[in-house]
């Protein structure tokens, strides 16, 4: 973990910034796909330090933000049942469904528990054989393999009272959806390093060729992100559009074959709805027919859930990079982390929450106030 | 691939109120503050309570006293570096110390769960006694209640305390002025990470111990240099960030923190990196943050460093006229970010 300090070295950061400044000659719009990268960018003020020509557009890569409202409502319904222990990663508890969140379910007596791994939920199922234990399996290619492994283990160990509520999504189809949107301004992508550590880089050359965009696999520490930006800008300036790996300490081009095999065994590709974006074909995973017994949606028959959504929130446009968070009329006034209108304000990785927490320099922020402190 | 139409995209109904108590109401953040301001303060009235300090400064028979109470519901009861008994003494002693008072007497209320083993109760009581003796405070009165099995976590504690405020000492956020120097007494985040590591069974490579300690002696050594300290705060729930935000709001001054100057031990930084937490929001139980007039800053810092509990003291920032009521951190890379009051409890991030 000594890397933490090394990859936040201000002197090296300055050198990378100088190189980026020396390279850039005209405006470019880069999208960082992953919410973890958005968080680092805003938390460290990286966007303030870049030359004006380099614009960062925050992508739809926050797993909490893009989980559809319908799935949240199903989670709330299942978690409210007295015979259920509902297990989730922490930051899903605050995401509002149509009328409540998991915290409120817990305050009404629901047994909702924060776990750090799906295997913890499996252990809880073993310890509570007379109760149904459900794990909320959300996220991208990074969280899907351990969830798949857990279902695989549940079957292997013969644990009948465990199931998974699945809402997994895949990055490449989302990139395709963004690039085919008529309003798209994205000229290059910083691809999510952790996704690539699992899936490898094989899905990206076709996208880079088809849309003529550089795709640079990028890590999550400040220096990782600056290096990803440096390589992306260099490609843009040269008129190149290749797939480059700026995160070799974690990403091999073939990815993690064992994890991929586990995904292929347990999941199957499906159309998936993304909050703020809509349905994207082949952009998600669900449990395959062989593991259907472990699918909480089937086990608890939570069909017929209808959602209710207000229209004030523009998180769809934020997730697409069409507007910056502070350009939404509700930002910081009607919509704050205390009373979020949308998931991008709920998750700490959501672009709106990151802007609110780290950019707001007045009680009721406006774009003018969102400038750095002198 | 259908084209994406954003015109109809919508998001969920906002949660504008909480019809029931949620865990965040006890997290020391915005929800806690709202609970106090919207329900408790109006119900009780009273000017002293309205100041919302960690302890109340009251006058009785011409004597200035600091008076405070605190409840302790920590799980597990015993953790690396201490137990609920140490916390219950040191936490209340520290709340008094933040008023400049030397704790004199404590009360102690035990709420025991039916079925808890006697050696556990004895262990907690012994730890309380030892902590009280170390802090030079006497447990003078107490109470015991037992709740049915399943209605508690073994042992809950409440302690109240009183102490004398020395003449010439007036520690209040309202005394903070632009130009004050902000000092923290040492490494942050140890208690919160220690509790998390045992509560969740997480291994961070090295055992992290709680910093649980009584700060009365450290405060005395600071006041010996100058009684003109402006405000002290022990950054417990909500961590350093919550303490700074509360002071910025109450004093209507801006605070600028040099993030690189904030002492975060590598074990805490690593644990927080793994969990997706911010060390600035993680609880401490043996640290204080001091707002000191600039002309006294060096002398106070020297006095703190000469004390065992202030050996790691560092200047982390200053108060400014700009952005009143707001805390801004300058990042190591040279950018800035707003440090906000946490909403409820910090939640581990998914990725």
Residue A265 has pLDDT above 90, yes or no: yes
Dist. CA A359–CA B336, nearest whole Å: 8
CB contact under 8 A, A372 and B335: yes
CB contacts under 8 A, A 214-253 vs B, are 222
pLDDT tens-digit map of A17-40: 999 999 999 999 999 999 889 889
pLDDT tens-digit map of B296-332: 999 999 999 999 999 999 999 999 998 899 899 999 9
Mean pLDDT computed over every residue of chain A? 88
pLDDT of residue A330: 84
Q: Nearest 5°: CA angle at A243, between A281 and A21?
A: 120
Dist. CA B195–CA B99, nearest whole Å: 27
CB contact under 8 A, B351 and A142: yes
Q: How far is B91 from chain A (nearest CA, A)?
A: 27
A370 pLDDT band, cuts 50/70/90, is: very low
pLDDT of residue B341: 79
**Which residues of chain A lie closer than 8 angstroms to B336, CB-CB?**
45, 48, 372-373
**Which residues of chain A lie closer than 8 angstroms to B38, CB-CB?**
none
pLDDT of residue B196: 87
Residue A364 has pLDDT above 60, yes or no: no
**DSSP 3-state of A215:** strand
Of residues B84 and A341, more confidently modeled? B84
Q: Do B139 and B108 contact (CB within 8 A), yes or no?
A: yes
A-B C-beta contacts closer than 8 Å: 213
Q: How far is B116 from chain A (nearest CA, A)?
A: 21
Smallest CA-to-CA distance from A361 within A372, A353, A351, A350 is with: A372
Judge whether A109 is closer than 8 Å to chain B, CB to CB: no
A373 pLDDT band, cuts 50/70/90, is: very low
CB contact under 8 A, B6 and A316: yes
**Number of Cβ within a 10 Å radius of residue A134:** 26
pLDDT of residue A202: 96
Q: Do B257 and B327 contact (CB within 8 A), yes or no?
A: yes
CB contact under 8 A, B9 and A278: yes
Exposure of A340 in the CB half-sphere (CA atoms within 13 A) = 28
**Which residues of chain A lie closer than 8 angstroms to B333, CB-CB?**
8, 10, 13, 44-46, 49, 222
Percent of chain A scoring above 90 in pLDDT: 63
CB contact under 8 A, B6 and A337: no
- In chain A, the residue whose alpha carbon lies closest to the alpha carbon of B256 is A373
Dist. CA A269–CA A272, nearest whole Å: 9
To test the contact with chain B by mutation, choose from A90, A210, A335 the residue with the greatest count of B C-beta atoms within 10 A, namely A90
- In chain A, the residue whose alpha carbon lies closest to the alpha carbon of B199 is A115
Residue A147 has pLDDT above 50, yes or no: yes
Dist. CA B74–CA B96, nearest whole Å: 21
Residue B282 CB contacts under 8 Å (≥ 6 apart), including other chains: B188, B189, B191, B192, B193, B239, B268, B272, B346
Dist. CA B229–CA B301, nearest whole Å: 12
Q: Nearest 5°: CA angle at A349, between A348 and A352?
A: 80
Judge whether A117 is closer than 8 Å to chain B, CB to CB: no
CB contact under 8 A, A116 and B335: no
Could you tell me the CA-to-CA distances from B304 to A84, A244, A318, B210 in Å, in that order? Answer: 52, 51, 48, 20
pLDDT of residue B275: 83
Mean pLDDT computed over every residue of chain B? 90
CB contacts under 8 A, A 298-317 vs B, are 307-317
Average pLDDT over residues A213-231: 97
CB contact under 8 A, B335 and A44: yes
Helix (H) or strand (E) holding A138: strand A132-139
Query: Rg for chain A (alpha carbons), in Å?
Result: 21
CB contact under 8 A, A4 and B269: yes
pLDDT of residue A367: 29
A91 pLDDT band, cuts 50/70/90, is: confident
**DSSP 3-state of B45:** coil
CB contacts under 8 A, A 25-54 vs B, are 34-36, 39, 42-49
CB contact under 8 A, A358 and B338: yes
pLDDT of residue B256: 97
CB contact under 8 A, B205 and A1: yes
pLDDT of residue B12: 34
A220 pLDDT band, cuts 50/70/90, is: very high
pLDDT tens-digit map of A48-59: 899 999 999 888
Of residues B1, B16, B23, nearest to A103 (C-beta): B23
> In which residue ranges of chain B is pLDDT below 50?
2, 5-16, 351
**Which residues of chain A lie closer than 8 angstroms to B24, CB-CB?**
103
pLDDT tens-digit map of A303-334: 777 676 656 678 777 877 778 888 888 888 88
- In chain A, the residue whose alpha carbon lies closest to the alpha carbon of B202 is A116
Helix (H) or strand (E) holding B245: helix B239-251
């Amino acid at each position: 973990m000594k890397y933490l300090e090394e990859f936040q070295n201000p002197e090296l950061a300055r050198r990378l910034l100088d190189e980026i400044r020396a390279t850039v000659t005209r405006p470019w719009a880069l999208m960082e796909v992953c919410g973890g990268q958005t968080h680092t960018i805003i938390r460290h003020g990286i966007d303030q330090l870049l030359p004006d020509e380099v614009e960062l557009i925050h992508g739809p890569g926050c797993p909490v933000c893009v989980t559809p409202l319908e799935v949240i409502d199903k989670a709330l319904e299942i978690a409210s049942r007295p015979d259920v222990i509902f297990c989730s990663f922490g930051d899903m508890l605050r995401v509002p469904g149509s009328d409540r969140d998991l915290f409120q379910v817990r305050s009404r007596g629901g047994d909702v528990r924060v776990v750090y791994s799906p295997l913890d939920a499996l252990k809880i199922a073993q310890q509570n054989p007379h109760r149904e234990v459900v794990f909320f399996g959300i996220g991208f290619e990074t969280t899907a393999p351990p969830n798949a492994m857990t279902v695989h283990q549940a079957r292997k160990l013969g644990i009948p009272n465990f199931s998974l509520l699945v809402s997994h999504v895949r990055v490449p189809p989302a990139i395709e959806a963004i690039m085919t949107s008529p309003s798209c301004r994205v000229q290059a992508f910083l691809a999510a390093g952790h996704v690539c550590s699992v899936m490898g880089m094989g899905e990206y050359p076709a996208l880079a060729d088809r849309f003529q965009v550089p795709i640079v696999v990028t890590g999550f520490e400040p220096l990782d992100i600056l290096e990803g930006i440096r390589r992306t800008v260099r490609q843009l300036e040269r008129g190149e559009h290749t797939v480059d790996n700026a995160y070799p300490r974690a990403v091999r081009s073939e990815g993690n074959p064992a994890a991929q095999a586990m995904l292929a065994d347990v999941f199957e590709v499906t159309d998936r709805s993304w909050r703020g974006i809509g349905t994207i074909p082949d952009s998600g995973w669900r449990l395959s027919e062989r593991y259907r017994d472990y699918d909480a949606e089937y086990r608890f028959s939570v069909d017929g859930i209808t959602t209710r959504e207000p229209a004030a929130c523009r998180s769809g446009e934020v997730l697409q990079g069409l507007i910056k968070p502070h350009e939404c009329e509700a930002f910081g006034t009607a919509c704050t982390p205390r009373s979020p209108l949308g998931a991008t304000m709920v998750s700490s990785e959501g672009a709106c929450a990151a802007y609110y927490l780290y950019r707001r320099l007045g009680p009721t922020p406006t774009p003018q106030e969102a400038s750095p402190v002198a | 691939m259908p084209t994406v139409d954003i015109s109809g995209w919508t998001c969920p109904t906002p949660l504008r109120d909480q019809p029931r108590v949620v865990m965040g109401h006890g997290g020391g953040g915005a929800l806690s503050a709202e609970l106090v301001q919207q329900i408790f303060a109006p119900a009780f009235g009273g000017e002293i309570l309205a100041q919302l300090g960690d302890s109340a400064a009251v006058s009785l028979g011409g004597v200035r006293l600091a008076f405070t109470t605190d409840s302790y519901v920590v799980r597990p009861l015993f953790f690396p570096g201490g137990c609920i008994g140490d916390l219950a003494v040191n936490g209340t002693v520290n709340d008094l110390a933040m008023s400049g008072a030397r704790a004199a007497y404590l009360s102690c209320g035990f709420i025991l769960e039916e079925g808890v083993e006697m050696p556990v109760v004895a262990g907690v009581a012994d730890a309380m006694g030892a902590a009280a003796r170390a802090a030079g405070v006497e447990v003078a009165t107490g109470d015991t209640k037992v709740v049915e099995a399943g209605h508690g976590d073994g042992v809950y504690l409440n302690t109240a305390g009183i102490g004398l405020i020395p003449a010439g000492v007036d520690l209040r956020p309202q005394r903070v002025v632009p130009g004050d120097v902000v000092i923290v007494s040492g490494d942050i985040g140890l208690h919160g990470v220690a509790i998390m590591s045992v509560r969740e069974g997480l291994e961070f490579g090295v055992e992290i111990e709680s910093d649980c300690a009584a700060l009365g002696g450290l405060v005395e050594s600071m006041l010996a240099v100058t009684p003109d300290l402006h405000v002290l705060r022990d950054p417990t729930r909500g961590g350093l960030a919550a303490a700074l935000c509360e002071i910025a709001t109450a004093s209507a001054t801006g605070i600028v923190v040099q993030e690189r100057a904030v002492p975060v031990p590598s074990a805490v930084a690593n644990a927080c990196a793994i969990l997706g937490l911010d060390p600035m929001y993680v609880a401490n139980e043996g640290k204080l943050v001091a707002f000191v007039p600039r002309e006294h800053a060096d002398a106070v810092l020297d006095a703190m460093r000469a004390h065992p509990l202030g050996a790691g003291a560092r200047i982390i920032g200053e108060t400014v006229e700009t952005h009143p009521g707001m805390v801004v951190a300058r990042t190591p890379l040279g950018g800035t970010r707003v440090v906000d009051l946490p909403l409820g409890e910090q939640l581990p991030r998914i990725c």
